[in-house]
Amino acid sequence: MQSSFEKLKKFFRLEAEKNYNDQAIIGGLAKVLDFWEGEARASGIDEETVQAVSTCLRGYHDLAPEARAESLKSLWGRVQAQRPGLGDIPPAPARPAVMETGRAKPSQPQQRRPQPEAGRSASVPGAGTRQRPIALNASLTVLAGVGPRHAQTLEKLDLKTLGDMLYFFPRRYDDYSQLKPIHRLFYGESVTVVGTLQTVANRPVRGGASSITEAVINDGTGALRLTWFNQPWVANRLAVGEAISVSGKIDQYLGRLVMNSPDWESIEAENLHTNRIVPIYSLTATITQKWLRKIVHQVVSYWAPKLTDHLPASIREAAQLPTLGEALLQVHHPDSQESLRQARQRLAFDEIFFLQMGVLRQKREWQAGTARFYEVPDDELAERARLLPYTLTNAQQRALQEIRADLRSGRPMNRLLQGDVGSGKTVVAALGAWIAIQAGTQAAFMAPTAILAEQHYRNLSALLVETGPLPPGSLRLLVGDTPEAEKDGIRAGLASGQVKLVVGTHALLEDPVTFADLQFVVIDEQHRFGVEQRSALRAKGAEPHLLVMTATPIPRSLALTVYGDLDLSVMDELPPGRQAVETHILRPRERERAYTLIRSQVAAGRQAFIIYPLIEESEKSELLAAKAEHLRLQQEVFPDLKLGLLHGRMRPDEKDEVMLKFRAGEFQALVSTTVVEVGVDIPNATIMLIEGANHFGLAQLHQLRGRVGRGPDQSYCLLVPDHEDSAENQRLEAMAETNDGFILAERDLEQRGPGEFLGARQSGYATGLQMASLTDVRLIDKARTQALALFERDPDLGQEENQYLSEALTRFWGGGKGDVS
Ligand code: ADP
Ligand code: MG
């Protein structure tokens, strides 16, 4: 047994003599493992130690020399603790002034959170970078007091290595530096209070079917009653006389202040007395806050100061940020609210900055490609536009010219066309496709549902076939329901090049679909597709030009950050003659007025949408609620009308069928959950009633409202919140005030955060954002400015001072190429 360790010591000594240049053994120190691991196990060395040695050596090569010395030393310290008498390996010599070059071998794959949408790694910035001492890649079992069982539990929190711990940010903090005395609490506030337990008791209620745990704490200024419903075990864990801290919202019961179901914890005396801000981490069963806090503290206080900052000092200073080490220390153990704020700023900056650098790099990557060159004379394009039944708006003209310039650039277009609902994106995309088609190449148009694809097909037929340039048969529709024989014909036409333009759904992605020469790809409602789907379509051509479209208005700061890899065209203008949808907020008891307006619109030959929110959690109750509401409206309110029903539990083809019937006028009103198709164009629908409007975000309300007001007639949108709450109604007022999706989006972003805008992007990028809020426009601007400036100075990050950054960035983006759409 000794001999395995002795061998190790021999190599480590040799390595120390060679100034930790990884040449003690040919092929690097990791080669030792080839024989050592087996030997060590055979000689009975425990698995934990074998793993620790193996982890250390595998990552050894990727370390800077001084970090290598540190890592061998720390490993050896561990071995010695188990086997005293082995002797030291010599201490590291003074830092050798060798700059390491050519790290050919990649290090251990980092653990990554799964990122199905984007296929990108979201490991946190700085995690696993070279300047990180290798010990940070070590399993948590290297810590005193953490055994394999604990390690398994910690893994549930995504904590596998010491490095993960550094980035395991507290869920919240208890600020003992500013505790609030009980006599100064007031109703409605959320606070943390500390006190001593005076009484604890369980009390059965409802004849013993349930129980209430009641406790009273006193802090010397007053007493506060605590209650927990149906958690009888709480009483067993609370002892009279014990000090606890409780966090929650102050409520009122029979004139006294109470806290219902508070989070609680036993107080660790040291926290109380130090007046500190104490981190509270997310827990999982079987570990306690106190234990976890101690472990994290151990790791952070030792390692954070040893980290080399991946942000070059120049950027850190320009952006006025603390160092990484300082930020990590402060985020786990803030000295003050101010230093916590700065720490969070720094960590959030990193995230946005990395995001920006990543998209900039991707943009450069695709810009380096070459693509088919298209030139179309002004007069031909103008002639084509003249054949349209209307004049293009200025915004449409601008977007079209931008697309045209892309097609003329010789580089693949990668453009996001963003335009409010009804701004007329389809025709712009169609004219772009036409430029590619008139030159003899092919185009594909993909939409998320059959009904949208079919709608595009009809529009494109009108634009391109009926008015001339495309011979019939060269434009086809391909959806899942297309009969197999017809599909065969379409596929043959696409493969031979006889079909020039195909419109379809996911059916386009199927393997047998091949193109003779696909050069222009349009993806409508892009957020409805995953990255793989978008790139699957693109892959059917060779670097085709790509236009992705979205009707979800995204505030500019956000768009530039999250979609920074795409060029952006914004259509901020609606075709003339569009009337703003008249929007009213009605109180619940004024609902009858809404019904009256619906009846009068239907009497005038128009159609109505009735939308209601799903508050129910389970899908089953959702379905029941939908059906019940439909029945109620049909029987009690509109017995003389035909009402369709659309809900999320229907199959796509069932939904399509209902929508088609509605469009064909077979239903006068459509009762629907929010599944009602974005992008569906039913000009005859002029009124929309939205129940429970307070449950929706502004962006979503705006999308819903966009289903009406698409024809020449005045349209209405009636918002009925299900209770009166001034704050929420104020939000709804914004809907009544403006029809401008961008204004509403800005407000929504302020109020609800970016979730609704991001769709697939959210899971793709923003899951990497633990700390940054995409609503923090100032931070975004700051990070963006710095990223752009750096990208100008040193696009390849080849300069010395950017070395660490370059590697941290590679790690953040998983080293792979993401898709640009
Ligand atoms: P979206 O941008 O929401 O996809 P569409 O492309 O579906 O909008 O267009 C909405 C409607 O506006 C369609 O009926 C289309 O024919 C019409 N339209 C598009 N451009 C113009 C224009 N410049 N003038 C008048 N109507 C237009
Ligand atoms: Mg559309």
Distance between CA atoms of residues 154 and 77, nearest Å: 24
Q: CB–CB of 24/15 below 8 Å? A: yes
pLDDT at 144: 82
Mean predicted confidence (pLDDT) in 244-272:
80
**Dihedral (CA of 447, 448, 452, 457) sign:** positive
Cα of 391 to ligand 1 centre, how many Å?
A: 11
> Of 107-121, 209-223, 286-300, 439-453, where does mean pLDDT reach its minimum?
107-121
Pairing of strands 277-280, 172-175: antiparallel
Better pLDDT: 405 or 105? 405
SS3 string of 330-366?
A: HHHCCCCHHHHHHHHHHHHHHHHHHHHHHHHHHHHHH
Instruction: State the pLDDT confidence band at 662, using cuts at 50, 70 and 90.
Output: very high
Mean predicted confidence (pLDDT) in 117-137:
47
Distance between CA atoms of residues 719 and 584, nearest Å: 6
Distance between CA atoms of residues 259 and 596, nearest Å: 46
Q: What is the pLDDT of residues 751-779, one digit of tens each?
A: 655 554 444 343 344 445 667 666 677 88
Instruction: State the pLDDT confidence band at 319, using cuts at 50, 70 and 90.
Output: very high
pLDDT at 217: 94
Provide the percentage of residues in the chain whose pLDDT is more than 90.
31
Tell which atom from ligand 1 comes closest to the C-alpha of 427: 6
Instruction: State the pLDDT confidence band at 616, using cuts at 50, 70 and 90.
Output: low
Instruction: State the pLDDT confidence band at 782, using cuts at 50, 70 and 90.
Output: confident
pLDDT at 213: 93
Cα of 463 to ligand 1 centre, how many Å?
A: 12
Cα of 421 to ligand 2 centre, how many Å?
A: 7
Q: What is the pLDDT of residues 476-498, one digit of tens each?
A: 999 988 999 999 999 999 999 99
Instruction: State the pLDDT confidence band at 669, using cuts at 50, 70 and 90.
Output: very high
Cα of 633 to ligand 1 centre, how many Å?
A: 33
Mean predicted confidence (pLDDT) in 342-353:
90
Tell which atom from ligand 1 comes closest to the C-alpha of 455: 7
Tell which atom from ligand 1 comes closest to the C-alpha of 396: 23
What lies within 8 Å, CB to CB, of 625 at 6+ separation is 614, 616
Pocket of ligand 1 (CB under 6 A): 390-393, 396, 419, 421-427, 551, 575, 679, 681
pLDDT at 374: 93
The 8-class DSSP code of residue 161 comes to: B
Instruction: State the pLDDT confidence band at 714, using cuts at 50, 70 and 90.
Output: very high
Most confident range (mean pLDDT) of 247-261, 592-606, 607-621, 715-729 is: 592-606
The 8-class DSSP code of residue 637 comes to: I
Tell which atom from ligand 1 comes closest to the C-alpha of 681: 7
pLDDT at 641: 94
Say if residue 198's pLDDT is above 90: yes
Mean predicted confidence (pLDDT) in 246-263:
86
> Of 520-524, 623-627, 706-710, 791-795, where does mean pLDDT reach its minimum?
623-627
Judged by DSSP in three states, 413 sits in coil
Q: CB–CB of 158/113 below 8 Å? A: yes
- Ligand 1 pocket mutation, candidates 549, 552, 681, 713, criterion most atoms within 8 A of CB: 681
Say if residue 307's pLDDT is above 70: yes
Helical (H) or strand (E) element with 716: strand 716-720
Q: State which residues have CB under 5 angstroms from ligand 2, the bound ion.
A: 679
pLDDT at 686: 94
pLDDT at 269: 59
Cα of 426 to ligand 2 centre, how many Å?
A: 6
Q: CB–CB of 622/673 below 8 Å? A: yes
Q: What are the distances in angstroms from CA 243 to CA 214, 239, 338, 442, 710? A: 16, 9, 28, 74, 64
Q: What is the pLDDT of residues 539-581, one digit of tens each?
A: 899 889 999 998 877 767 677 777 888 888 989 888 887 788 9
Q: What are the distances in angstroms from CA 592 to CA 589, 640, 718, 733, 802? A: 7, 16, 12, 21, 66
Mean predicted confidence (pLDDT) in 158-179:
85
Q: Which amino acid is at 280?
A: I
pLDDT at 127: 40
pTM score > 0.75 for this model?
Answer: no
Helical (H) or strand (E) element with 504: strand 501-504
Cα of 659 to ligand 2 centre, how many Å?
A: 16
What lies within 8 Å, CB to CB, of 210 at 6+ separation is 204, 229, 230
Which residue CA neighbors atom 9 of ligand 1 most closely? 424
pLDDT at 112: 31
Q: What is the pLDDT of residues 451-470, one digit of tens each?
A: 889 889 988 998 888 877 78
Nearest to 453 by CA among 677, 135, 786: 677
Better pLDDT: 333 or 115? 333
pLDDT at 109: 33
Say if residue 89's pLDDT is above 80: no
Which residue CA neighbors atom 17 of ligand 1 most closely? 424
pLDDT at 596: 95
Q: What is the pLDDT of residues 413-431, one digit of tens each?
A: 999 999 887 889 999 999 9
pLDDT at 816: 43
> E strands along 721-766, which residues?
none
Say if residue 62's pLDDT is above 80: no
Q: Which ligand is nearest to the CA of 576?
A: 1
Say if residue 595's pLDDT is above 70: yes
Most confident range (mean pLDDT) of 9-13, 586-590, 688-692 is: 688-692
What lies within 8 Å, CB to CB, of 102 at 6+ separation is none
pLDDT at 436: 92
> Of 127-131, 239-243, 574-578, 705-709, where does mean pLDDT reach its minimum?
127-131
pLDDT at 599: 95
Mean predicted confidence (pLDDT) in 198-212:
88
Nearest to 715 by CA among 606, 589, 811: 606
Distance of CA 174 to the CA centre of its chain: 28
Judged by DSSP in three states, 163 sits in helix
Say if residue 612's pLDDT is above 50: yes
Cross-strand pairs, 611: 672, 690
Q: CB–CB of 462/580 below 8 Å? A: no
Mean predicted confidence (pLDDT) in 157-163:
89
Q: What are the distances in angstroms from CA 145 to CA 141, 284, 304, 439, 635? A: 8, 17, 20, 71, 67
Cα of 521 to ligand 1 centre, how many Å?
A: 20
Write down the mean pLDDT value for the chain: 82
